[in-house]
Structure 1
Amino acid sequence: MFKNKNLILYLAASILALYFLFLGLSKAKGFFAPLVTATILSLVVLPLSNKMEKFMKRNWASLINSLLLFGISIGLIALVSFQIRSFVEDWPQISETMKPKIEQVKDFALRHTPLDKEDIKEAKNDSSESGSKTGKKIASFMSGLSSFMANYLLTFVYVFFLLNYRHIFRDFLMNVFPDRKRDTIKTIISKSVKVAPQYLLGKLTLMGLLAILYSVGLGISGVNNFILVSVIAAVLTLIPYVGNIIGFTMAVAFGFLTSGETTVLVGIGLTFMITQFVESYVLQPYVVGERVDVHPFFVIVSVIIGNMVWGIIGMILAIPIMGIITVVLLNIKKLEPLGILFSKKQFSDN
């Protein structure tokens, strides 16, 4: 009976500790999100930085890699911005094309739902009244944009310092634990730093193959700017699960909404269905495969928690962070059962 009470107390304490941990991380997103993002990015370019340091000083190698990451991010933002600009330019044509479709939807709603014309008019009035709140929305957007830009630039500053002074953090970990634990710490560090690069390498290969598959399908379907749409849809797969939905929505916007042809919509739907099937059952296991040793169930759980804590950026970081946590748990004797629980290899072996 006493043991059962202790078990219940430990379980309750663990649940409370996790709750306050995630609550604290959520409240401190402005500080931790850029720092954790910079840490993962630093691990991604660490192999390249190590090679460059054979020919130049560490501070120059760190600076070049920070600027390289910054340039890549600017390129991705420019790519998305170009596509949004194209959509805005095509909006008058889209509006004209979609007017008959909208009227058909209204007629269907009036015939087959409890809605009547008064309800539709009220919806229009509500949308017109919302225009008075535009000023507040713009102010809120500008405030959010300034905060994003500050964190965005700060991330690459962190990358530089993490790369340039990484020996400090390594020495700290080596000295904070007893000498008998040093071999374990070395093993954890060496395995952990490989998780993010391996994951990104697998994802980059996967995105390249997905871009090709999307381009073929969307090109046959008649989507405007299908190559650009395909590349962006492939890049969006960095956001687990949600990225595929955003990519599909974008393809519909530039395909069906522009042309209004039902055959284009069917083609887009088939393209994404077939590509997602190939990704899930062929490409994902063999291309990404064993690069991140996390069981699929806990991948989903980590992505959901990442979204709850930090939103989209949390979803992107969830898988590599979970991979690093699994490596750490598997190499600490007392916590090894948890590592076995999270590990994909252990599940497959049993």
Structure 2
Amino acid sequence: MPKLVRSPARGARLHPHRLPERHLSSDATGDGVPRWMVKAGGWSWRLLVVVAVVALLVWATAKIQLVFIAVFLALVFASVLRPFVNLMDKVMPRALATALSIFGAILVIGGMVTYVVRSVTGQWEDLSEEFTAGINELWDLAENLPFGVSITADQLREWSDTGLQWIRENQSELLDRAAEGAGSVFVTFAILALATFCTVFFLARGDEMWRWFINQLPARVRPQWIAAGGVGWYTFSGYARGTVIIALVDGVLALILLLIAGVPLAAPLAVLVFIGAFIPLVGAPAAMIVAMIVALAANGVWNAVIVGIAIALIGQFEGHVLQPLVMGKQVSLHPVVVALAVTSGTLVAGILGAVVVIPIVAVIWAVYAKLRTVDPPMQDLEEPDVLPRS
């Protein structure tokens, strides 16, 4: 005789594995919320935390911008001078090697600035006359443009009067900005002094400072920090040294080109190209435009065109030869990432943001790539066959 199965008493708890199948669903949780919404909510609050941390870091950096710039410059100086210090450290005390390296860098930079100032002072009067003649030539060209387009002298005079009127109306604001620029000179000297002070310790006792920091961490996380610090410094130092080398080569090539083309102020323009190389994407084109304007004012249209084409060729040589040869794979960022990073850095902190954002992004990506666990790569996916076969 078959056994009767009694139903559970009222209020008794059923084992979860014995619940009827109609109460279980792979698309919903116990409270009826779809699982995809639960996962989306979990990722959402995590992303909000990350955004909040990044915003806090940006805000804190803005509050101590002077210190951040000084430390960043000190790291750049240390990465460039460290090979020389390590080389001289083999034959002399490290403190003396550090002092000689910094003193030599100061002499090189000071000599470059002195040469540029003397060049500008000696050629400024001639250049101003040639520039005035070049402006008049531009006005003549504007009055006789092709395809029936022309700009009359009355229009040019009207635009000039409008510009002068704007200057008169905003004279007080312009003077305030000039005063701020004068005050920024003292800020610049303060940044350089702090950067030099930090550079001395980074070069002389950088290893001891890093070892002290690692010893303050729990033993279980020290290997990760050592690996992250090693790959981060390798990427940053490689980017800094590579950028300096590439900028120096660009400046020398630009100087040779401008001297051959007979463009006035060749040395200051070459220094401008050198400085522009530190600003990704926009620095070199801006320096090229300035050099073309000076060549146009001094030597005419065709000379400006030749200078522009030659500087564009220098840019191509930098992008296709110097960058892969000097940088290698130390800074492997996609051009789209570079463009987005430079634009974002410019919007946040102007020219300073455009300069510092690429090494920061490169270091973050290098550390992430070092610490992450990489799954096997996907094979090429074939297009799914969704149509019925005949």
TM-score band w.r.t. shorter chain = 0.7 to 0.9
The equivalent of 2:139 in structure 1 is 103
8 Å Cα contact 2:144/2:150 also seen in 1:
yes
Out of 32, 40, 47, the residue aligned to residue 83 of structure 2 is: 47
Q: Secondary structure at the match of 1:155?
A: helix
Out of 28, 33, 45, the residue aligned to residue 69 of structure 2 is: 33
**1:4 to partner: Cα distance:** 1.5
The equivalent of 2:216 in structure 1 is 176
8 Å Cα contact 1:46/1:163 also seen in 2:
yes
Distance in structure 2 (CA, Å) of the matches to 1:319 and 1:176: 30
Q: CA offsets, 1:1-26, max 9 Å, x none?
A: 22211212222332233233223323
Out of 345, 350, 363, the residue aligned to residue 324 of structure 1 is: 363
Q: CA offsets, 1:291-348, max 9 Å, x none?
A: 32333333333333443444434433333333332332223247x79xxxxxxxx9xx
8 Å Cα contact 1:184/1:331 also seen in 2:
no
Distance in structure 2 (CA, Å) of the matches to 1:17 and 1:223: 50
Q: Secondary structure at the match of 1:224?
A: coil
8 Å Cα contact 2:89/2:97 also seen in 1:
yes
Tell me the amino acid that sits aligned with residue 55 of structure 2: Y
Out of 235, 238, 253, the residue aligned to residue 195 of structure 1 is: 235
The equivalent of 2:186 in structure 1 is 146
The equivalent of 2:330 in structure 1 is 291
Tell me the amino acid that sits aligned with residue 38 of structure 1: A
The equivalent of 1:3 in structure 2 is 39
8 Å Cα contact 1:80/1:232 also seen in 2:
no
8 Å Cα contact 1:43/1:194 also seen in 2:
no
Q: Secondary structure at the match of 1:331?
A: helix
The alpha-carbon distance between structure 1 residues 225 and 84, as it changes in their structure 2 partners (threshold 3 A), is: closer
8 Å Cα contact 1:38/1:155 also seen in 2:
yes
Q: CA offsets, 1:221-260, max 9 Å, x none?
A: 432354664464245312222321332133224322123x
Residue pairs, 1:335-350, within 5 angstroms: none
8 Å Cα contact 2:231/2:370 also seen in 1:
no
Uncovered stretches (5+) of structure 2, i.e. residues with no partner: 1-36, 378-390
Uncovered stretches (5+) of structure 1, i.e. residues with no partner: 338-345
Distance in structure 2 (CA, Å) of the matches to 1:66 and 1:296: 34
The equivalent of 1:342 in structure 2 is none
8 Å Cα contact 2:80/2:237 also seen in 1:
yes
Q: CA offsets, 1:244-290, max 9 Å, x none?
A: 1332133224322123x111111112112222223223332234332
Give 1 or 2 for the bigger CA radius of gyration. 2
Q: Secondary structure at the match of 1:68?
A: helix
What RMSD, in angstroms, separates the aligned Cα atoms of the two structures? 3.4
The alpha-carbon distance between structure 1 residues 154 and 84, as it changes in their structure 2 partners (threshold 3 A), is: farther
8 Å Cα contact 1:29/1:310 also seen in 2:
no
* Comparing 61-70 and 199-208, the one that deviates more: 199-208
Distance in structure 1 (CA, Å) of the matches to 2:331 and 2:348: 22
Residue pairs, 1:61-76, within 5 angstroms: 61-76=97-112
2:247 maps to 1:247: no
The alpha-carbon distance between structure 1 residues 282 and 65, as it changes in their structure 2 partners (threshold 3 A), is: closer
Q: Secondary structure at the match of 1:10?
A: helix
Tell me the amino acid that sits aligned with residue 97 of structure 1: A
The equivalent of 2:54 in structure 1 is 18
Q: CA offsets, 1:129-173, max 9 Å, x none?
A: 555666534422211111111112221111112223324431233
* Comparing 152-161 and 35-44, the one that deviates more: 35-44
8 Å Cα contact 2:131/2:294 also seen in 1:
no
Distance in structure 1 (CA, Å) of the matches to 2:294 and 2:350: 26
The equivalent of 2:201 in structure 1 is 161
Answer 1 or 2: which has greater helix percent: 1
